[in-house]
Amino acid sequence: MSTFAASHLSPSYPDRAAWGTAPKLRAWQQEAFDLYFRREPRDFLTVATPGAGKTTYALRIASELLANGVIKAITIVTPTEHLKRQWADAAGKVGIAIDPEFKNSQGTTSRDYTGVAVTYAQVAMHPALHRARTEARRTLIIFDEIHHAGDAKSWGDGVREAFEPATRRLQLTGTPFRSDDNPIPFVAYEEDGEGVKRSVSDYSYGYGPALADGVVRPVIFLAYSGEMKWRTRAGDEIAATLGTPLTKDQLSQAWRAALDPKGDWIRQVMQAADRRLTEVRRGVPDAGGLVIATDHETARAYARHLRNITGEGATVVLSDDPGASKKIKQFAASEDRWLVAVRMVSEGVDIPRLCVGVYATSTSTPLFFAQAVGRFVRARKRGETASVFLPSVPTLMGLANEMEAERDHVLNKRPPEDGLDDTLLDQANRQKDNPDVLGDELPFETMETSATFDRVLFDGGEFGTGAEIGSAEEEDFLGLPGLLEPDQVATLLRKRQSDQQAARRKQQSAEPRQELAPHEQIAELRRELNGLVGAWNHRTGQPHGVIHNELRRACGGPPIAQATVEQIQERIAMIRRWATQRR
């Protein structure tokens, strides 16, 4: 099988290739490419971690199919308008003319184009039109982030009607899992032994293998806790510490208070993130940062904070801004420090120089989290690292600890036994200090917020002993070099933690022994467990995340960020037993 078509295309096209890969396809791309042409399938689902190079791979397949006369036209379906133009730019550089401005009202496009780029919403609005276009010529459909076809029943139905007659369909996704039961069109599902249907990919390339291959960057998560104080609608003043056990309502309000631009927490965290960006830019001079905001008002307020912190303006990208795509493109080509965005940069948007992120949104679904973190992992050369700043919220800590977990889209989820619904139970058990209000948000006024450094999460392990903002202990982690291999990151984090623990033991030995508070006890146990996991990693070569997951399977319970004292102690005992029983 010839791979000459578009063979000049960089493996990380349209950007520089990762170290050691140019001018050929990356190993995973070549393997998936060869598998595709061995099978000659009508449908082919490729699951590849964000930043791995799905665009390059898809365009190489499209070039080959065009050269062989298998197809005469291409339709690229994307989640957003911006991605239509991004795909058209990429295709144009390999000689494939794609019209990103095609409108349903046109009916047809210029004969100068080999195909069009459209959105899932656009297809759903007029599926018959797109079906007629598909039937008129032998067409390859490239579905970018195919899981979006299940966003709404009308989208799925429209996609199925429009592209059922296609000659070939190539489905791409970095995050195939969804939290609902909407089936994804043209994706195969197989039933497991428990009657649950799971999506089946034809080729899969996860974050773990991509990290080992140097295709993506290692991600260091820096978690920040702190003191929050707010006033409820009823006039009650409530204080809570983010990162300690809280009721569901308390956690929601403390989290919201932390992200409130009127408080000090978000300003202090952005200041720490900017210090981290300065360090990264020593090795990556054009490194940029991204703040992912919840809404337009807070995005603009965050930009004002960044101007005060850096002395430079930040680019603000809002979903209703007609010039959003142009702003993203200009920022990608510049050396400006910060971009603030509301969802616009959550998926598929390609800004390879993004190295530092602030997750300043209350959205906590696994899908959105994976998409957001995916903006920082694209590697241009070996050694680049990514740093993402997070609030110390159990859900986010669990997602960060499970970065390497591979998920499938699951249908026919088993209903709760005995008619019990977890959501209804949560609502029934929720402490209701305030009257019910419309929507999810509980109205309150932020009074005071302040941040403290909590810990670093990397490869399923946790490092750091907690520290004040601006302390030497925090600087130990903010000052990590911006160019490090994954094993160097782990080694340096262990050394930083070991040095801090030694200093803390020395200080404690000179002070009277005090009983630990519950949150301090949990923190100490977490550090002990993570130290043992690190030792087991050295002994077995298993990633930290895999070891943590195996301990969870053996002992039960939630991720470490949500585990109780007893559950963590049980895992410590289990891994100690492994050390004495396993070779």
What are the tens digits of pLDDT across the range 203-244? 999 888 888 888 888 999 999 999 999 988 778 888 988 887
The mean-pLDDT minimum among 53-67, 129-143, 301-315, 562-576 falls in 562-576
User: Which of the given ranges, 270-284, 349-363, 455-469, 520-534, has the highest pLDDT on average?
Assistant: 270-284
Q: What distance in Å separates the CA atoms of residue 179 and residue 183, rounded to the nearest whole number?
A: 11
What per-residue confidence (pLDDT) applies to 82?
A: 83
What per-residue confidence (pLDDT) applies to 538?
A: 60
Distances (CA, A) of 217 to 49, 212, 341, 399, 583: 11, 10, 22, 17, 32
Q: What distance in Å separates the CA atoms of residue 235 and residue 444, rounded to the nearest whole number?
A: 9
Predicted confidence (pLDDT) per residue in 106-118, tens digit: 888 999 999 999 9
* pLDDT at 416 > cutoff 60: no
What per-residue confidence (pLDDT) applies to 304?
A: 97
Predicted confidence (pLDDT) per residue in 3-43, tens digit: 333 444 444 433 433 333 334 788 999 999 999 999 999 99
Q: What distance in Å separates the CA atoms of residue 367 and residue 279, rounded to the nearest whole number?
A: 30
* pLDDT at 406 > cutoff 70: no
User: Who wins on pLDDT, 181 or 100?
Assistant: 100
User: Who wins on pLDDT, 139 or 549?
Assistant: 139
For the record, the structure tokens of 338 come out as 């910060």
Mean per-residue pLDDT, 332-355: 82
Neighbours of 467 (CB within 10 A): 18
Q: What distance in Å separates the CA atoms of residue 426 and residue 458, rounded to the nearest whole number?
A: 31
Mean per-residue pLDDT, 477-489: 85
Beta bridge partners of 188: 200
pLDDT band at 180 (very low <50, low <70, confident <90, very high): low
What per-residue confidence (pLDDT) applies to 578?
A: 81
User: Who wins on pLDDT, 118 or 412?
Assistant: 118
Instruction: With H, G, I as helix, E, B as strand and everything else as coil, classify residue 412.
Output: coil
The mean-pLDDT minimum among 70-74, 81-85, 318-322, 330-334 falls in 318-322
pTM: 0.71
What per-residue confidence (pLDDT) applies to 44?
A: 96
Q: Which residues contact 538 (CB under 8 A, 6 or more apart)?
A: none
What per-residue confidence (pLDDT) applies to 431?
A: 35
What per-residue confidence (pLDDT) applies to 5?
A: 38
* pLDDT at 375 > cutoff 80: yes
Predicted confidence (pLDDT) per residue in 452-466, tens digit: 998 898 887 788 777
Predicted confidence (pLDDT) per residue in 498-554, tens digit: 777 677 667 666 655 556 677 778 888 887 887 777 667 666 767 777 888 889 889
For the record, the structure tokens of 367 come out as 């899908």
Rounded to 10°, the helix 264-283/296-310 angle is 60
User: Which of the given ranges, 248-257, 367-376, 500-509, has the highest pLDDT on average?
Assistant: 248-257
**Percentage of residues in the chain having pLDDT higher than 90:** 40
Of 564, 177, 137, the closest CA to residue 406 belongs to 177
Average pLDDT of the chain? Answer: 81
User: Who wins on pLDDT, 59 or 422?
Assistant: 59
